[in-house]
Structure 1
Amino acid sequence: MASLATHFSAFLFFFPVGVRRLLFSSSLYLKSPSHYRSKIWYFSQPRWKNLDLYILMIALPIASFSELFIFLSFSGHPTYRFAFLHQAFAVLIFWALLILIIIQEYIGTSFISESYVFIFAGISFLVDYSVIGKGIAGLGAVVYGFLGGLTLVCAGACFYLSVKPTAFFADFFLSSGMVFKGTWLLQSGLSLYTDAFGLKGCQKILPASPLEDIDVKCDLDEDSLRGITLMHFLFTVHGILVMILSVGLFGLLASNWNLRWGETRGPLLTELESSNMMMPLPEQELE
């Protein structure tokens, strides 16, 4: 998390994936709540419509190797330097998760169970949590503390879905958590690493000397306290907006059948319809 570029790149990863997951999972749940079963990734048919997944398959290793190259060439603050190495490893873990998703979808559960893929997804979020805000203190630590909490919510949802994939509320929290994490990543990058959107009376995060922790430098203690209060307020605003977005999308899908995603696509819907057809019909009452 050492620059605005890494925050923006992470936003482009988490926010679209979270919104897409929210749309597909809600559509599937509304079609048949009693037969709902969460998927690690909601594939569309034909397969070219899964373009976002294929783009991530290419973009994530490029991002990981870019972070590794910066680690090898960066000669500044050691905490900053090793932050790039930790980020490279975290991005690589998410790339490995996408590979497992593709293997599970195209080869089938005989090779690897979806529950194990959910467990690996939870581990990926825990790895991400371990590198968030590493070596940053003060105001920056408060901002990244919120981000760490959102990451733990996503990890917990993944672990719960690995045990009970029929729990829609866990999938809802996972999707909303990824959207919230994406928006807060963007907010953190703008507030901590830019002058235009920085906090009043405080400078953007700059590399410190090898003996100092990295922190946002504020002119006065009052500026630092005001900045902490403002970030608490912004976090609350983000949470309210994400909840409105999530609940609003669910309500919109529930009220309009034509807006639902994945209604006639993919093997999951076929399995769902087959199970519905196999259900015994209630006996007619004798007149």
Structure 2
Amino acid sequence: MASLATHFSAFVLLFPVGLRRLLCSSSLYLKNPSLYRSKIWYFSEPKWKNFDLYTLTIALPIASFSEIFIFLAFSGHPTYRFAFFQQSAAIFMFWALVILIICRENIDTLHIDEGFVFVIAAISFLVEYSVIGKGISGLGGAMYDILGALTLVCAVCSLYLSIRPCSFCAEFFLSSGLVLKGTWILQLGLSLYTDAFGLKGCKKMSVWPNQENAEWKCDLEEDGLRGVSLMTLLFIGHAIAVLLLSLMLFALVASNWNLRCGEASGPLLAQLDSGHVLMPSSLDLDME
């Protein structure tokens, strides 16, 4: 996370995935709440519509190898070498998770349980949590601690879903957490790594002479305190905006069934529909 470009790339990957997951899980839950079960991925038909999943299979290894190249470029800074290596490993974990999801969907002989995949997802989030903010000190590190807390929430939700896949509340927090992670990463990139969107009296994140860690420097202590207060206020604003967006999307799906994603008409719901069709005929037989 050393530039605006990496933050924007993370936003482009996280925000659509979280939003689509929220839409599909809401569709599935509203179809029949009593039989709702969360899914590790909500597939669409035809399969080419799952371009978000296939995009991740290409983008994540590229991002992982990019971290390795940056790691080699900072060979003179031991702290940076270790941080970039850890970030590359975290991205590779998510890529392995995506490959596992694709294999589970397309190779029937594997018989991979969804609970196991949720556990792997939780482990991936925990690995990401362990590397967030590495090599960043001072006020900027405090802002990345918030991002780490969001990642920890996603890990806990994934672990809980591995035990109770019928919990829509955990699914809602996981999906909303991904959306909030995306918007907050973009906010950090704009506020900490640019002068145009930077905070008054503070300079963009950089490695200062004779230092191994990146640090967010402010001219005066008052500027730093004001910057932290403003960033905290911005996070609260992001959280409220994402919560309202999630609730509005849920209400929109509830009122307009045309917004249902492909998974809302999958095998589980097909069984439900067939069950509803068979009930009247069985009643007729009993009456006869």
Taking the TM superposition and a 5 Å limit, the aligned residue runs for 1:271-286 are 271-274=271-274
Give the superposed CA RMSD.
Answer: 2.3
In 2 relative to 1, CA 268–87 (structure 1 residues): closer, same or farther, beyond 3 Å?
farther
1:85 Cα deviation from its structure 2 partner: 1.7
Contact between 2:80 and 2:212, CA under 8 Å: does it hold in 1?
Answer: no
107-116 vs 267-276, which moves further: 267-276
In 2 relative to 1, CA 65–276 (structure 1 residues): closer, same or farther, beyond 3 Å?
farther
User: Which residue of structure 1 aligns with residue 252 of structure 2?
Assistant: 252
1:31 aligns with 2:31: yes
The amino acid that maps onto 1:187 is Q
User: Which residue of structure 2 aligns with residue 140 of structure 1?
Assistant: 140
3-state SS, counterpart of residue 215 of structure 1: strand
Distance 2:275 2:100 in 1: 26
Distance 1:59 1:275 in 2: 42
Distance 2:150 2:141 in 1: 14
Taking the TM superposition and a 5 Å limit, the aligned residue runs for 1:85-164 are 85-108=85-108, 111-164=111-164
64-73 vs 255-264, which moves further: 255-264
Taking the TM superposition and a 5 Å limit, the aligned residue runs for 1:171-182 are 171-182=171-182
1:166 Cα deviation from its structure 2 partner: 0.5
1:132 Cα deviation from its structure 2 partner: 0.4
1:220 aligns with 2:220: yes
Distance 1:61 1:83 in 2: 17
In 2 relative to 1, CA 95–276 (structure 1 residues): closer, same or farther, beyond 3 Å?
farther
Structure 2 alignment gaps of length 5 or more? none
User: Which residue of structure 1 aligns with residue 22 of structure 2?
Assistant: 22
In 2 relative to 1, CA 36–200 (structure 1 residues): closer, same or farther, beyond 3 Å?
same
1:158 Cα deviation from its structure 2 partner: 0.1
Query: TM-score by structure 1 length?
Result: 0.92
In 2 relative to 1, CA 218–270 (structure 1 residues): closer, same or farther, beyond 3 Å?
same
Distance 1:42 1:271 in 2: 17
User: Which residue of structure 2 aligns with residue 40 of structure 1?
Assistant: 40
1:79 Cα deviation from its structure 2 partner: 2.7
3-state SS, counterpart of residue 136 of structure 2: coil
Contact between 2:31 and 2:264, CA under 8 Å: does it hold in 1?
Answer: no
3-state SS, counterpart of residue 90 of structure 2: helix
1:273 Cα deviation from its structure 2 partner: 3.7
User: Which residue of structure 2 aligns with residue 232 of structure 1?
Assistant: 232
3-state SS, counterpart of residue 137 of structure 1: strand
Contact between 1:28 and 1:262, CA under 8 Å: does it hold in 2?
Answer: no
- CA deviations on 1:77-134 (whole Å, 9 max, x unpaired) are 4333433222211111100000111111122485311100000000000011011001
User: Which residue of structure 2 aligns with residue 11 of structure 1?
Assistant: 11
In 2 relative to 1, CA 263–73 (structure 1 residues): closer, same or farther, beyond 3 Å?
closer
In 2 relative to 1, CA 264–130 (structure 1 residues): closer, same or farther, beyond 3 Å?
closer
Contact between 1:18 and 1:177, CA under 8 Å: does it hold in 2?
Answer: yes
Distance 1:173 1:281 in 2: 41
Distance 1:101 1:171 in 2: 17
Structure 1 alignment gaps of length 5 or more? none
- CA deviations on 1:191-215 (whole Å, 9 max, x unpaired) are 1111111111000111134555431
The amino acid that maps onto 2:175 is S
1:47 Cα deviation from its structure 2 partner: 0.8
Distance 2:238 2:18 in 1: 15
Contact between 2:83 and 2:131, CA under 8 Å: does it hold in 1?
Answer: yes
